[in-house]
Structure 1
Amino acid sequence: MSAAAQVVGLHVGVDATGARVTAVALDREGTTTARAERPLPVSEPRPGWFELAPGELWAAALDLLGRPGAGPAGLGLGADPGPVVLWDRDTLGSPRPAVTAPGGPVEALRWVAEHEPHTWRLVEEDTYALGGLDSYLLARLTRGTYHLTDPSQAEHSGLYDAGAGAWSEERCRAAGVPVDALPELTAPWGRIADTEPGASGGLDVPVTALLSTHRAGELVGGDPALGTAYAAGLGLGWWGTPEPTGLSPR
């Protein structure tokens, strides 16, 4: 398979029963040429709260991205919007596990601010960045060059103003979250970023999709992993603009 004939969608799913990372490769005809999955351990430190080690997520992602064969023409990233990750902007290391709270990202961030004040101080000083699993993976793939998310992720954060199409300064102030620590907003598909080969296991490819589980699933019949790969193809201009139900890759 030639590089020009393939896109890869990397999807991260996290729920109360576990976590998984799935990679799907599509060719230009919309045919699924490869699919692989890796489980990830998720802990429950207290009822309704779940934690995931960012380093284990990153290792699983790198493993899956190296499996479809020839280098892809484009890469899409999709993820559940619940978990929140903190990472060092320079080293890309994470000071704590990614956390999912019953009340959403705002509740998770308030807990970190209250119980881990040293960590939160580094967020306020702009040493640590905040984001979802999509933003974290993009930062790792690009050696920290890009700190982005799309509105379909942001709207689940409790900090996004859909009417303005931007982070709400009022909501961020009420939650005590620095706006500058949050990712910049981008379109869900298009030429979004470029991976850094030295940081991503030699992967040298444009990132052409960045979206949430919910949006990806809407594109292709409820399959977020397949929808993420499809969105990556949209970013390359392979299929034009999707209809509400999207393309149905084979």
Structure 2
Amino acid sequence: MVQAVLAVDQGTTNSKAVLVAADGQVLATGSAPVGLSTPRPGWVEQDAEDLWQSVLRAISACLTPAAAGGAVDIVGIALSTQRESVVGWDAAGKPVGPVLGWQDVRTTSWCAQLPPTVDDLVRRRTGLRVDAMFSAPKMRWLLDRSDALVGTVDSWLIHRLTGGREHLTEAGNASRTLLYDLIALDWSDELLDAFGVPRGALPEVRVSDGGFGATSGVPGVRDGIPIVAVLADSHAAMYGQGCTRAGLVKATYGTGSSVMTPVEGFVESGCTLAWLTDRPVYALEGNIVSSGAALAWTADLLGLPDVGALTALAATVPSAEGVVLVPAFAGLGAPHWDREARAAVSGMSSSTTRAHVARAAVEAVAHQICDIADTIPGAVSSLRADGGATVSELLMQTQADLLGHRVEAADVPEISALGAAELAWTTLGETTDWAAKRTFRTFEPGPGAGDRGRRRAAWAQAVASVRVKRASEDPAP
């Protein structure tokens, strides 16, 4: 009987389950979509029960005899989860409201009313900045409407996987809440007071490989399997990509995007806790609000069935012919952090076609990655890429051209799940170095890199215009 870790990767739009052997071999996979709703502009919600059921459906698909290919002994569970989204539930384990997604910006005005001292405290304790993307304002919103336990998605899944026995979270996920002190490695009483979140409502924080209880009452899974390791999804991708030391940079192309590189210690700007095992591993990170979401929006706008059709259409023209799409549908994330910016398409003429707009959407994803890469101290010699959008050869080549450096795309689509599984196997005593054995699709800057400077300048001008335009609409003082 083959031993395996069951790794669950719960993301914004789908849940995946992957059976992984000790040598990194993927034995079986399963996936299931999870719904997303936008009841008002800027509100992004999910249903907590639907999210949990999507995990169960993914596990069921993975564990069917045909998928598993024979008898498998599951020796541990590993979790990789979306990060800043928040769930609230009562003592009986019943959700008290919607899951407030990481894209949700309903608390923007509330955040803007906080005194500057709070933003300064947040930077000094967490390395982040006050923004509606992060968890604390969302937690406050839920707690204003119900007495509840609150947590990020890892907490909710741990609660359900253990039959309601545990209220725990992993340190890297906690670092995205604005409430976790990255130096003290504990919830900060000062930050809890600033955001009005009681410590008793929060889960206990554990190290990434610290053990998170055991399964109980999970359909299709025997009781007593330990939850060995938990990582936030972007952090799990970095672990799975082998980016474990300073100078290695990875970019995850999902609904939004995360660009991360490990650093030697805590810094007060753009920092996150990648994982915490025998020691903390910090990372510089920039978050993009809309990347894969921008491709999906453009595909819908152009009447195309999916993103694959969009990138195929984009590939029919050699360039965007001056068309620039800035996908600031919920404002701009790093490095601009301007929630007042609004999306725009510029540079069109009478000769602009649907293909040019499609090409501009692809380029917008790559430009946003470049914006963050340009802020990373030191030279970036290459970028390791993962996430669903990396299947596009056009996007990866465009990224290499605009970045001016090599792009190495992961050879497996389940890199976040594999990262969590690798940490689990390491915790279980196995020696792993899966990234060293992995192959990559490599993209070097090509002829399209020749006008990189012009294209980057046009992008910068377009970004500035959506911000200037918004400012000009404000009444004069």
Q: TM-score range by the shorter chain?
A: 0.7 to 0.9
Task: Give unmatched runs, 5+ long, in structure 1.
Answer: 123-127
2:11 aligns with one of 10, 13, 36 = 13
**Letter of the 2:416 counterpart:** P
Deviations 1:44-70 (A, max 9, x none): 122333111111111121222233343
Note the 1:1-250 alignment, pairs <5 A. Answer: 1-2=1-2, 5-14=3-12, 19-66=13-60, 67-68=62-63, 69=68, 70-89=72-91, 91-100=92-101, 101-102=104-105, 103=132, 104-114=134-144, 116=145, 119=146, 122=147, 128-196=148-216, 198-204=217-223, 205-221=225-241, 222=386, 223-239=415-431
The residue type equivalent to 1:80 in the other structure is: Q
Output the TM-score relative to the length of structure 2: 0.45
SS at match of 2:38: strand
Q: Please tell me the residue identity of whatever aligns with 1:235.
A: T
In the superposition, relative to structure 1, how do residues 246 and 153 fare at CA in structure 2: closer, same or farther (>3 Å)? farther
Closer/same/farther in 2, CA of residues 169 and 40 from structure 1, 3 Å limit: same
Check the 8 A contact 1:190/1:236 in 2, yes or no: no
CA separation of 1:169 and 1:138: change in aligned 2, threshold 3 A: same
Whole-Å separation in 2 of the counterparts to 1:84 and 1:38: 20
Aligned to 2:128: none
* Paired residue secondary structure (2:229): strand
Q: What one-letter code is carried by the residue in structure 1 that aligns with 2:11?
A: G
The answer to whether the Cα contact below 8 Å between 2:97 and 2:142 also exists between their aligned partners in 1 is: no
The DSSP-based 3-state class of the residue aligned with 2:155 is: helix
Displacement of 1:247 after TM fit?
Answer: 5.8
Q: Work out the CA distance in 2 between the residues paired with 1:213 and 1:61.
A: 15
**Equivalent residues of 1:191, 1:235 under 8 A apart:** no
More strand per residue: 1
Deviations 1:165-216 (A, max 9, x none): 00011111111101111111111124332111x3454432110111111220
- In 2, the alpha carbon distance for the partners of 1:151 and 1:85 equals 17
**Partner of 1:125 in structure 2?**
none
SS in 1 for 2:44: strand
Rate the CA distance shift 1:161–1:38 in 2: closer, same or farther, 3 A. Answer: same
**Length, aligned pairs only:** 229
Confirm or deny: 8 A CA contact 2:7 2:17 kept in the other structure: yes
Change (3 A) 1:71 1:48: farther
- Between Structure 1 and Structure 2, the one with more helix by share is 2
Counterpart contact for 2:5–2:421, Cα < 8 Å: yes
How has the CA–CA distance of structure 1 residues 108 and 55 changed in structure 2, closer, same or farther, with 3 Å as cutoff? Answer: same
User: Which residue identity does 1:136 align to in structure 2?
Assistant: W
Distance 1:12 1:220 in 2: 16
Structure-1 separation of matches of 2:155 and 2:236: 16
TM-score using structure 1 length: 0.84
For 1:249 and 1:182, the matched residues in 2 are separated by 38
**C-alpha distance after superposition, 1:62-87 (max 9, x if no partner):** 22223334341110111111210011
For 1:92, the aligned partner's letter is G
Q: Distance in 2 between matches of 1:39 and 1:136?
A: 18
2:8 and 2:55 in contact (8 A); partners too = yes
Letter in 1 for 2:222: L
Change (3 A) 1:88 1:110: closer
Q: Which runs of 5+ in 2 are unaligned?
A: 106-131, 242-385, 387-414, 440-477
- The code of the aligned residue for 2:164 comes to G
Which amino acid letter does the alignment assign opposite residue 93 of structure 1?
Answer: K
Structure 1 residues 198-245: Cα deviation after superposition (integer angstroms, max 9, x where no partner)? 3454432110111111220111124212212222222212226x7xx9
The change in CA–CA distance for 1:135 and 1:246 in structure 2 (over 3 A counts) is farther
Aligned residues of 1:140 and 1:200 also touching (Cα < 8 A): no
Is the radius of gyration larger for structure 1 or structure 2? 2
The 1:173/1:7 distance shift into structure 2, 3 A limit, reads same
Following the alignment from structure 1 to structure 2, what is the Cα–Cα distance between the partners of residues 113 and 139? 19
Higher RCO (Cα < 8 Å, 6 or more apart): 1
Partner-residue secondary structure (3-state), 1:25? strand
